[in-house]
Structure 1
Amino acid sequence: MSQPFDVPAYTIAAYLRIASIAVALYDYLETLPTIIRFFREQYKSRRLSLSFVLLVLIRASSILVLTISNVGFFYGKFTHATCKKFFLLPPTFKVLQVMVSQAILGVRAWNLARRSRRSSYFLVTLYFIACVLQWITTLYQRTPDLGGPVHVSARQQILTSPGSLILAIMQQGNCRAFNQARQLGAWIYYAIAVVYDFSTTAVAVFYLLKYKMASNNSLMSKVTRMMLYDGIGYFIALAGVNVFNLILYKKGQDIQTAAASLAYCVSWIMSQRLLMHLYGVSRQRRDESIEEAITITQNLDSARIVSRAIRTQFEQKSGPLDLTIPDFDLGTDPGQAEIPDENLEIQKIIHAVRDIVGKLIRGGHNGSQTQCTPYSAVHPTLERPCSLYYLEVIQPKIAAS
């Protein structure tokens, strides 16, 4: 049953929804070239990384929830019957979107914690509890309601007695999922989201500060600072919108969903930025590795050591789940043995390797076909590892130069 229509609340909600759609559309167009470039790299490598899958999921779920939610709000020809079939779709897709967004935060914190067993148990348990509670509180005690400017759209003639007609009025309006402000229900969803965001952000910040203090590498410091700002910015933005929604849900019915579309938009943009910033750093790291000289700080006494050294210079170090480690190590593993000082020699920079490897990656010597692909580590024609190609081809050229 429709409630009395509050014109100011409806107007505020309409303006907020239009603003969120405009911002989301702008961000979609702005990030589209990066997404296409990311997709091409994944397609060429024939392997989908978790970061790319999550990026696709957050974009798809966000577009769906924004579309369905705003159709329910702006389309004014829902009847009571059609609204009963539609009203649970927007909150359902809302939970799906937030599950993807929270998965991004959870995997990010898990990787920063170096996938320790303790952090795995904590984050998986927290994610499971948050998802279950969010599903329950979103769908619990929701009722369909015709909101907005309800109007008479049709008249049906019903024959009640011979020669007598009664005009029955059929009302139409927009369709909303209403929740009583005093009941335990949808507003608790936003409180749960704030708690989850705070917990995962706290884990990530703890390890980022730990890495920042332990690392002297300039690139590592840059990435750590970027991830700190991204994580804290994400939490502040999402927490602010969720608190705003929580306050509105405790108010009247017409203002309940005023900022819902804004929350979808902010969650989409901030989650996407977390992934795209890391992708940008990863791409920059790979590009710089082509131009920089190779620095060798250890005696290379065997083909195996040479193979390992060259492979670590050019191959990707991140696996499919390395959402937050953009192609370089965050530090030395505790179980990794340190190199004895007596085996270290004066740092030697081989400038010739920079030119040769650059030519190989950019198209080969004298315009010939590329002889070795560093990221796949397999010779495209002879199925020969790059490290052996280094020993057989590049190293003699260096010795002769």
Structure 2
Amino acid sequence: MEQRLVTDSVTSEKYLRIASISIATYDYILTLPAEWRFYRSQSSIFHISLVCALFILMRYVSIMAMVVSNYGYFSTTYTQQTCQRYYIVAPIFKAIQTMISQVILGVRTFNIVRRDRRIGIILSLLYLLSTSAEWFADLFHGTPNVVDGNCTSANAGKVLSTWFYYLAVILYDVVIVTVSTVHLLRYNPISSRVEQLIRVLIYDGIGYFIVLSASNILNLVFYHTTNIQTQTAAASVGYAVTWIMTQRILIRVRENTRPDAQRLENVIVARPTLGAQKRVMSGLRSHFESKSHSKGSKSSKSAGDAEFRPTSPHNSNDVELDVRVRVERSVVVDYKDESEHSSSWVK
């Protein structure tokens, strides 16, 4: 009976790993055009934006994590000695992948909360605490597990600790998604275009949390068991879900805020109240900022109407995690050459 249960668990793990590889490969092919647009929007290969760099890291660190993990599992040539040097590689890539994902969510939330310094400090401390706990839980009491020539990492100590890794990830996601969603719900956009953008940010954040939490809870349950044959059953699923959901956040926001989607229009976002004119709505920072310079005219800005302003396509990729709404009023002064009789009007 026990042997049958072990066989069933091994078969289930194989199915889960093959399914996760298939889904990840399909999503990779599906998002190749989006990846090309990220590259094309860079001004230079030596001047890559933070958003593009995070996108690349998320994408290819995730691939490495899946390759390393599944190679060790499906291989049939490992011995206890060779596995001793290899089993730790997959957990390291898992921790790095999670760190990149949490950086993306943290920066996204920091900009949504209008770059509030106090909240930024809290988010930084939360990130350091979370990643420290994750690395400790991921590597503590990890042992090589060799079965039929394959090599995986198992948690076989007296105290099971790997499950705490996923608990730390879940708690971090709860805080980040709660903070970002609460602040997004406070915005009162007038433009339907900006309302759509805010809705996308809310849905993406909640969707990310629901899907990834389901994967993390599944891994938490598996790693909470003493059966080392089933502990890593959903590990590959976690790699794929983290990869797909995190990069989708970057792609969706970029697609909804690129300059050509805005038709190069200035869009009124919100009208400040009388007592709120001194408060700049800098929560959703956008790359839609442009300085209009024309011959014979000057432009100055003061607090007033909030609006998005588009930039050049080369800077369009800065929007994904760096979206800000600025409250301002433009005052344009036309003037003639000093050699003529000066006359001006203010609009």
Give the TM-score normalised by the residue count of structure 2.
Answer: 0.79
Cross-structure match for 1:199: 175
Deviation at 1:315, TM superposition (A): 2.4
Cross-structure match for 2:230: 255
Q: Secondary structure at the match of 1:115?
A: coil
319 and 128 in structure 1: CA distance in 2 versus 1, 3 angstrom threshold: farther
Cross-structure match for 1:330: 325
* 1:272 paired to 2:267: no
Structure 1 counterpart of 2:164, one-letter code: I
181 and 14 in structure 1: CA distance in 2 versus 1, 3 angstrom threshold: farther
Question: Distance in 2 between the 1:307 and 1:238 partners?
Answer: 43
Do the aligned partners of 2:266 and 2:310 also contact (CA within 8 Å) in 1? Answer: no
Cross-structure match for 1:118: 118
Higher Cα Rg: structure 1 or 2? 1
5 and 293 in structure 1: CA distance in 2 versus 1, 3 angstrom threshold: closer
Cross-structure match for 1:282: 257
Cross-structure match for 1:244: 218
- 1:291-342, CA deviations, whole angstroms, 9 ceiling, x for partnerless residues? x5999xxxx9x7221899xxx854259798653355xx5352xxx6x67xxx
Cross-structure match for 2:271: none
Deviation at 1:53, TM superposition (A): 0.8
Cross-structure match for 1:231: 205
Do the aligned partners of 1:5 and 1:254 also contact (CA within 8 Å) in 2? Answer: no
Identity over aligned pairs, percent: 34
Question: Distance in 2 between the 1:287 and 1:217 partners?
Answer: 14
Deviation at 1:282, TM superposition (A): 2.2
Cross-structure match for 1:9: 9
Question: How many residues matched?
Answer: 302
Question: Distance in 1 between the 2:266 and 2:143 partners?
Answer: 66
Question: Distance in 1 between the 2:46 and 2:194 partners?
Answer: 28
Do the aligned partners of 1:182 and 1:250 also contact (CA within 8 Å) in 2? Answer: no
Deviation at 1:286, TM superposition (A): 3.1
Question: Distance in 2 between the 1:269 and 1:330 partners?
Answer: 28
Question: Distance in 1 between the 2:319 and 2:266 partners?
Answer: 26
Unaligned runs of 5+ in 1: 151-172, 345-387, 392-401
Question: Distance in 1 between the 2:45 and 2:299 partners?
Answer: 26
Structure 2 counterpart of 1:198, one-letter code: V
Cross-structure match for 2:280: none
4 and 43 in structure 1: CA distance in 2 versus 1, 3 angstrom threshold: farther
Q: Secondary structure at the match of 2:222?
A: helix
RMSD: 3.3
Cross-structure match for 1:305: 299
Do the aligned partners of 2:52 and 2:317 also contact (CA within 8 Å) in 1? Answer: no
* 1:217 paired to 2:191: yes
Cross-structure match for 2:77: 77
Give the TM-score normalised by the residue count of structure 1.
Answer: 0.68
Q: Secondary structure at the match of 1:6?
A: helix
Cross-structure match for 2:159: 183
Do the aligned partners of 2:255 and 2:261 also contact (CA within 8 Å) in 1? Answer: no
Do the aligned partners of 2:87 and 2:153 also contact (CA within 8 Å) in 1? Answer: yes
Question: Distance in 2 between the 1:85 and 1:307 partners?
Answer: 61
196 and 293 in structure 1: CA distance in 2 versus 1, 3 angstrom threshold: closer
Do the aligned partners of 2:108 and 2:322 also contact (CA within 8 Å) in 1? Answer: no
220 and 183 in structure 1: CA distance in 2 versus 1, 3 angstrom threshold: same
Do the aligned partners of 1:68 and 1:90 also contact (CA within 8 Å) in 2? Answer: yes
Do the aligned partners of 1:107 and 1:323 also contact (CA within 8 Å) in 2? Answer: no
Do the aligned partners of 1:215 and 1:331 also contact (CA within 8 Å) in 2? Answer: no
46 and 314 in structure 1: CA distance in 2 versus 1, 3 angstrom threshold: farther
Q: Secondary structure at the match of 1:305?
A: strand
Structure 2 counterpart of 1:271, one-letter code: T
* 1:208 paired to 2:208: no
Structure 2 counterpart of 1:130, one-letter code: S
Q: Secondary structure at the match of 1:215?
A: coil
Question: Distance in 2 between the 1:262 and 1:289 partners?
Answer: 39
294 and 120 in structure 1: CA distance in 2 versus 1, 3 angstrom threshold: closer
User: Where do residues 90-105 of structure 1 align in structure 2 (5 Å cutoff)?
Assistant: 90-105=90-105
Question: Distance in 2 between the 1:223 and 1:200 partners?
Answer: 19
Cross-structure match for 1:29: 29
Deviation at 1:289, TM superposition (A): 2.7
- 1:76-102, CA deviations, whole angstroms, 9 ceiling, x for partnerless residues? 110011000001000010000000011
